[in-house]
Amino acid sequence: MNSLLFFYLALLLLLPWFGGLVLGEVVNDFSKCQQFFYRNTSPTGITGNHYQPICQRYNNSYRFATLYDRDRRSALYSAYILSSPEGKRDDETWMYEPQLANRKGDPSMQELNLRPDNNVKESQAVLEDYRGTLYTKGHLTPSMHQHSLEDRKATYTLTNIVPQWEGSNSGPWGELEKEVMSEFQKCCKEKMYVITGVMSGKKSINSRVFVPDYLWSAYCCPSYKPNLPESGDTVGVRTDGFHVTRMSLNGLEKILRKRLEMPNISLFDGQCK
């Protein structure tokens, strides 16, 4: 093995019952932003006309990639290269994607106003969806995993967001994001490729934005530091009913195939080997 593999399935019980120019290009595939995937290969075996690839670009540079679920008005997954943050804290200026509302629309991702038009509301989540609810706006590509201020600002697009309970977002999921950063700093020589996504349930916010039953995150280090274990497989249980389970890539993919009813899902080319 020439790779360091740590893969997570985050079993978070999300339901009580069990400034600059931002460009988010709506594209037919990920060819313009394939660098965010291991070996320039996006996950395979995911099918459906309602899934929309988006190459997330800020100030003329691509920052990460997102596969957006139009039917559920939330991301299925986002993929990025993890990097230690540097510089001042980013602000929360939320954006939306005009080309999801109109394919001929402005390619520049625009700041959300308080009263977006109906075409925008029909095509994607808006800030109004989260007001007065128990859900926070959970990043799939987290700000804290991005290097520059511009990288971090680019994560504040609602196409990179899913509804998440506060107890999860600021609790075990937030801790997991810190653990992944720690693993990167301790174990990876160069790049860490990360894919973070959801398994959607039947519950939604106002019959619009679907709430995930589970969040999951998988990462791959093609080159790792010497004298380290090549794989990790442990289970951690968090408080307040939220659980985080660590498992192999193969174990995660089996669950995704069953839950999404897509038998050929593969997240990393060659199993990151």
- Return the domain boundaries, the chain: 18-161+190-215+249-263
Share of the chain above pLDDT 70, in %: 77
Q: What is the pLDDT of residues 127-147, one digit of tens each?
A: 888 999 988 899 999 988 988
Q: What is the pTM of this model?
A: 0.85
Q: What is the DSSP string of 142-185?
A: -GGG-SSHHHHHTT-BGGGEEEEEHHHHTTHHHHHHHHHHHHHH
pLDDT exceeds cutoff 50 at 16: no
Q: What is the pLDDT of residues 153-172, one digit of tens each?
A: 889 999 999 998 776 766 67
pLDDT of residue 2: 42
C-alpha–C-alpha distance, residues 193 and 35, integer Å? 10
Rounded mean pLDDT, 170-195: 83
pLDDT exceeds cutoff 60 at 49: yes
pLDDT exceeds cutoff 90 at 76: yes
pLDDT of residue 190: 82
265 Cβ contact list (under 8 Å, min separation 6): 43, 44, 45, 46, 253, 256, 257
Q: Which residue has the higher pLDDT, 112 or 273?
A: 273
Q: What is the pLDDT of residues 215-260, one digit of tens each?
A: 888 888 888 777 554 443 333 323 234 677 888 888 889 889 999 9
Rounded mean pLDDT, 51-67: 89
pLDDT of residue 228: 55
pLDDT of residue 108: 58
Least-confidence region, from 55-69, 73-87, 95-109, 128-142: 95-109
Mean pLDDT, the chain, rounded, equals 79
Share of the chain above pLDDT 90, in %: 32
C-alpha–C-alpha distance, residues 262 and 15, integer Å? 24
Q: Which residue has the higher pLDDT, 105 or 95?
A: 95
